[in-house]
């Protein structure tokens, strides 16, 4: 038996073949070929496959995000067959008697450079479309699987670490779980795994070797164990735990349709965290009562260029309409730190978590902010949208955000476009500064939502991305809980509600403390809704105490 001990990052038991994620190696060298016709055939097959993929993507985009998003893929499909582009590739093949990869890469670069050198900003921006199409043909030539997983059956995905943007590109239907050599349970890949409701383990170290490719692994996302060739006893333990997990899932079904209310009548809003319109299905399946955090930056991370106002509008509108009048809190762009988006060209920083991230980027780049706010306000006509600003430290930042909202509403009014002028505005409390300023900040907004992932990081001076801080990264630390209490008191003192949308919100060990603090809303991954509801329904709010705030 082989046992690798990592750290549990997303609960659940599963077994399946290990598949090591390969970052696309696109190094292309020129080779001389003997059979040029065979090379041309390979090229034609790769082009046909690319067109097929792009048409499927266009169809999916049309269903999920409307015509404008579909047009992008349709244009890409047309470009694969563009006469000049194809002629340049063929000329290169014939003149140089070379491999198709080299000819495609050379033609792609030539075209991209030509567009980039044009005066017109629109044409310049097409250079990235050409690179994208070229890369797709190259991937198909080199057999690099779309969605990163070249397997018919679902797998347990193994990797060193995965950037959030890489995780987003993966074909989720093929993933049973994640096992990472590095990574942290507080990073966004772990958060995505929890949103998807699949087990994940990080910090497995070098013992997780590629020699295990294809072998069946048993993983337990709670204990952090990865087992190959289990002995009888281990197998029995896994099987029993798996059976219990299934039983629990069935039991939780009975919670659907029940109220989120304690035995003594305190109502708590149990909402969900999502990263894309696709996640709404999981929210509805788990009977989430609203969306407490839509991480809008994942739309930017998925894209090769700034998502347009219309693309964003369609995404927000889809979510708002699907939630059918229930609250949908959309957080404005929160990139920087571990969420890097190449086309933003952010300067390299020594300490990106303390750098120009989240609201700081939006306030520094008013055009990017305005586009998003316009999309949000336009979508507000189609459901109960609220807007939330991340990483706030000062009152002036909130006032500037509100001024940007006012300006956008004025524009939309002038243009005759519908929007909800009473759209609620809230802020995330995720810096110690915002806790200390909570009294003043509460006077500016309609609600607070505590981002405990960052609040823990900044309060305890512990990098949430690091996997070796161990007991020092302690989200149960009384300093974090006192910060929550101070925030809740300031919110209630000023007549606004307060929620938690960090991962701590789903921590059942703290539920009584949250009730004692007076938290009004808990926004958790969809899979955590029903267990949380079951726990709330067993609690008596008036007997809950603040013991955990005491010094340890
Ligand atoms: C948080 O910091 O707790 C939070 C919810 O935001 P994110 O995890 O996306 O930084
Ligand atoms: Mg945060």
Domain boundaries, the chain: 2-21+150-252, 36-146, 254-545
The residue whose C-alpha atom lies closest to atom 1 belonging to ligand 1 is: 451
Q: If you measure from the C-alpha of residue 392 to the centroid of ligand 1, how many angstroms do you get, rounded to a whole number?
A: 12
The pLDDT, as a whole number, for residue 64 is 64
Active-site residue flag, 204: no
Cα of 497 vs centre of ligand 2, distance in Å, is 19
Mean pLDDT across the stretch 492-518?
98
Q: How far is the CA of 103 from the centre of ligand 1 (A)?
A: 45
Residue nearest to atom 9 of ligand 1 (CA): 295
Cα(4)–Cα(158) distance, rounded to whole angstroms?
13
User: pLDDT for 421-460, tens place per residue?
Assistant: 999 999 999 999 999 999 999 999 999 999 999 999 999 9
pLDDT of residue 200: 95
CA nearest neighbour of 384 among 300, 450, 288, 316:
316
Reported pTM: 0.80
Across 11-35, average pLDDT? 87
Return the closest-CA partner of residue 548 out of 489, 476, 455.
476
Q: How far is CA 75 from CA 51, 71, 348, in A?
A: 10, 6, 33
184 lines ligand 1 (CB under 6 A): no
d(CA 276, CA 274): 6
Report residue 383 as tokens: 């459901």
Question: Across all residues in the chain, what is the average pLDDT?
Answer: 92
Which of ligand 1's atoms lies nearest the C-alpha of 450? 3
pLDDT band at 385 (very low <50, low <70, confident <90, very high): very high
Assess whether pLDDT exceeds 80 at residue 52: yes
Q: Is the separation of the CB atoms in 75 and 54 below 8 Å?
A: no
Ligand 1 atom with the smallest distance to the CA of 188 is 8
Instruction: From residue 44, give the alpha-carbon distance in Å to each of 54, 100, 249.
Output: 15, 10, 48
Pocket test for ligand 1, best of 164, 184, 299, 390 (most atoms within 8 A of CB): 390
Residue 498 near residue 447, CB atoms below 8 Å: yes
Task: Assign domain 2-21+150-252 to its CATH architecture.
Answer: 3-Layer(bba) Sandwich (3.50)
Residue-level pLDDT at 367: 97
**470: left (phi > 0), else alpha (psi -120 to 50), else beta?**
left
Q: What is the pLDDT of residue 78?
A: 93
| Separation in Å, CA 270 to CA 290, 499, 532 | 7, 9, 8
> What is the arithmetic mean of pLDDT over 279-296?
97
* Catalytic position from the list 188, 202, 362, 401: 188
76 given a catalytic annotation: no
CB 113 within 8 A of CB 127: yes
For the domain made up of 36-146, give the CATH fold.
Enzyme I; Chain A, domain 2 (1.10.274)
Instruction: Kindly give the distance from the C-alpha atom of residue 66 to the centroid of ligand 2, in angstroms, as a whole number.
Output: 29
Ranking 57-66, 302-311, 371-380, 448-457 by mean pLDDT, the lowest is: 57-66
pLDDT tier at 145 (50, 70, 90 boundaries)? Answer: confident
Neighbour tally for 28: CB within 10 Å: 15
Average pLDDT of span 129-149: 83
Q: How far apart are CA 523 and CA 407, in angstroms?
A: 30
Instruction: Give burial (CB, 10 Å; 0-12/13-18/19+) of 411.
Output: middle
Q: Summarize the confidence of residues 448-473 as an average pLDDT.
A: 93
Answer yes or no: is pLDDT of 123 > 90. Answer: no
CATH fourth-level superfamily of 254-545? Phosphoenolpyruvate-binding domains (3.20.20.60)
| 266 Ramachandran zone, left/alpha/beta (phi>0; psi -120 to 50) | beta
Task: Say yes or no to pLDDT of 2 above 80.
Answer: yes
Q: Which of these is catalytic: 272, 405, 501, 544?
A: 501
**256, 320, 253, 254: which is closest to 290 by C-alpha?**
320
**More reliable by pLDDT, 53 or 201:** 201
Atom of ligand 1 nearest to the CA of 334: 9
- Of 420 and 136, which is predicted with more confidence? 420
What is the rounded average pLDDT of the residues 460-466? Answer: 92
Q: How would DSSP label each residue in 303-338?
A: -SSPPPHHHHHHHHHHHHHHTTTSEEEEE----BTT
Give the rounded percent of residues in the chain with a pLDDT score beyond 90: 76
Q: Is the pLDDT of residue 23 over 80?
A: no
pLDDT at 331: 98
Ligand 1 neighbourhood includes 297 CB (under 6 angstroms)? no
Which of 55-59, 244-248, 321-325 is predicted with the least confidence, judged by mean pLDDT?
A: 55-59
Q: Which helix (H) or strand (E) holds 469?
A: none
Q: Residue 12: CB within 6 Å of ligand 1?
A: no
Res. 192: pLDDT tops 90:
no
Rounded CA separation 461/39 (Å):
57
Integer CA distances (angstroms), 471 to 59, 148, 203, 454, in order: 48, 34, 15, 17
Of 52-66, 277-291, 309-323, 450-464, the least confident: 52-66
Shortest-distance atom of ligand 1 to CA 451: 3
Closest approach atom of ligand 1 to CA 449: 5
**pLDDT band (50, 70, 90) for residue 69:** low
**What mean pLDDT do residues 242-252 have?**
93
Instruction: Name residue 220's beta-bridge partners.
Output: 13, 225
Q: Please choose from 435, 453, 501 the residue to mutate so as to test ligand 1's pocket, defined by most ligand atoms within 8 A of CB.
A: 453
State in Å: Cα 357 to ligand 2 middle. 10
> Ligand 1, atom 8: nearest CA belongs to which residue?
453
Question: What is the Å distance from ligand 2's center to 21 Cα?
Answer: 27
pLDDT at 71: 84
**Ligand 1 atom with minimal separation from the 452 CA:** 3
pLDDT given at position 24? 62
281 CB-near residues (< 8 Å, 6+ apart): none
Q: Is 338 in the pocket of ligand 1 (CB under 6 A)?
A: no
> Which of 334, 389, 462 most suits a substitution to test ligand 1, by most atoms within 8 Å of the C-beta?
334
**How far is the C-alpha of 508 from the C-alpha of 270, rounded, in Å?**
13
**26 pLDDT tier (thresholds 50, 70, 90):** low
Model confidence at 219: pLDDT above 90: yes
Q: Is 502 in the pocket of ligand 1 (CB under 6 A)?
A: yes
pLDDT at 340: 87
**Residue 161 phi/psi, 5° resolution?**
-160, 165
57 lines ligand 1 (CB under 6 A): no
- Nearest CA, atom 6, ligand 1: 451
β-partners of residue 225 are 5, 220
Half-sphere exposure of 176 (CA within 13 A, CB side): 18
CA of 48 to the centre of ligand 1 (A): 42
Nearest protein CA to atom 3 of ligand 1, as residue: 451
Check residue 253 and give its pLDDT: 95
- Ligand 2 centroid to residue 416 C-alpha, Å: 35
- Our answer on whether the CB atom of 520 is closer than 6 Å to any ligand 1 atom is no
Return the DSSP state at 136: H
The predicted structure's pLDDT at residue 546? 94
- Rounded Cα gap, residues 424 and 291, in angstroms: 14
The ligand with the least distance to the CA atom of 338 is: 1
Percent of the chain with pLDDT over 70: 97
Which of 425, 349, 435, 355 has the alpha carbon at shortest distance from 392? 435
Q: Which residues of 413-445 are buried (b: 16+ CB within 10 A; e: fewer)?
A: eeeeeebbeebbbbbbbbbbebbebbeebbebb
Is residue 65 predicted with pLDDT exceeding 80?
no
């Amino acid at each position: 038996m082989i046992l690798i001990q990592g750290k549990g990052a997303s609960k659940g038991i599963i077994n399946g073949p290990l598949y090591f994620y390969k970052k696309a190696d696109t190094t292309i060298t020129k080779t001389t070929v003997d059979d040029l016709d065979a090379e041309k055939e390979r090229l034609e097959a790769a082009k046909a496959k690319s067109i097929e993929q792009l048409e499927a993507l266009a169809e999916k985009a049309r269903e999920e995000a409307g015509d404008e998003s579909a047009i992008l893929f349709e244009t890409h499909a047309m470009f694969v067959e563009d006469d000049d582009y194809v002629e340049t590739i063929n000329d290169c093949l014939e003149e140089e008697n070379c491999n198709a990869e080299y000819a495609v890469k050379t033609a792609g670069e030539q075209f991209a450079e030509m567009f980039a050198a044009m005066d017109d900003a629109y044409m310049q921006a097409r250079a990235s479309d050409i690179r994208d199409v070229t890369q797709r043909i190259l991937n198909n030539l080199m057999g690099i699987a779309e969605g990163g997983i070249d397997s018919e059956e679902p797998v347990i995905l193994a990797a060193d670490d995965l950037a959030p943007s890489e995780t987003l590109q993966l074909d989720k239907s093929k993933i049973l779980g994640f096992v990472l050599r590095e990574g942290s349970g507080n990073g966004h890949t772990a958060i995505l795994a929890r949103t998807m409701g699949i087990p994940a383990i990080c910090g497995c170290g070098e013992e997780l070797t590629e020699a295990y490719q294809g072998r069946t692994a048993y993983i337990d996302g709670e204990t952090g164990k990865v087992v190959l060739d289990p002995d009888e006893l281990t197998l029995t333990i896994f099987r029993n735990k798996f059976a219990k997990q299934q039983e629990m899932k069935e039991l939780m079904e009975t919670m659907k349709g029940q109220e989120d209310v304690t035995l003594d009548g305190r109502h708590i809003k149990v909402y969900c965290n999502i990263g894309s319109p696709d996640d709404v299905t999981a929210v509805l399946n788990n009977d989430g009562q609203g969306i407490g955090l839509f991480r809008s930056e994942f739309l930017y991370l998925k894209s090769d260029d700034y998502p347009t106002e219309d693309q964003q509008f369609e995404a927000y509108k889809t979510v708002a309409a699907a939630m059918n009048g229930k609250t949908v809190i959309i957080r404005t762009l929160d990139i920087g730190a571990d969420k890097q988006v190449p086309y933003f060209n952010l300067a390299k920083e020594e300490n990106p978590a303390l750098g120009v991230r989240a609201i700081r980027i939006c306030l520094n780049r008013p055009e990017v902010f305005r586009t998003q706010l316009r999309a949000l306000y336009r979508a507000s006509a189609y459901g109960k949208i609220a807007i939330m600003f991340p990483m706030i430290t000062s009152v002036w930042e909130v006032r500037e955000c509100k001024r940007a909202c006012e300006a956008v509403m004025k524009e939309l009014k002038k243009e005759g476009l519908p929007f909800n002028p009473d759209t609620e505005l809230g802020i995330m409390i995720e810096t110690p500064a915002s806790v200390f300023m909570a009294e003043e900040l509460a006077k500016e907004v309609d609600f607070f939502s505590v981002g405990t992932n960052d609040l823990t990081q900044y309060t305890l001076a512990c990098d949430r991305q690091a996997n070796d801080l161990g007991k020092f990264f302690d989200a149960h630390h009384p300093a974090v809980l006192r910060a929550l209490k101070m925030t809740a008191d300031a919110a209630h003192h000023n007549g606004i509600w307060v929620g938690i949308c960090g991962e701590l919100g789903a921590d059942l060990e703290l539920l009584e403390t949250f009730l004692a603090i007076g938290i009004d809303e808990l926004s958790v991954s969809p899979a955590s809704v029903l267990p949380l509801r079951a726990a709330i329904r067993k609690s008596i709010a008036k007997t809950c105490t603040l013991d955990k705030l005491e010094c340890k």
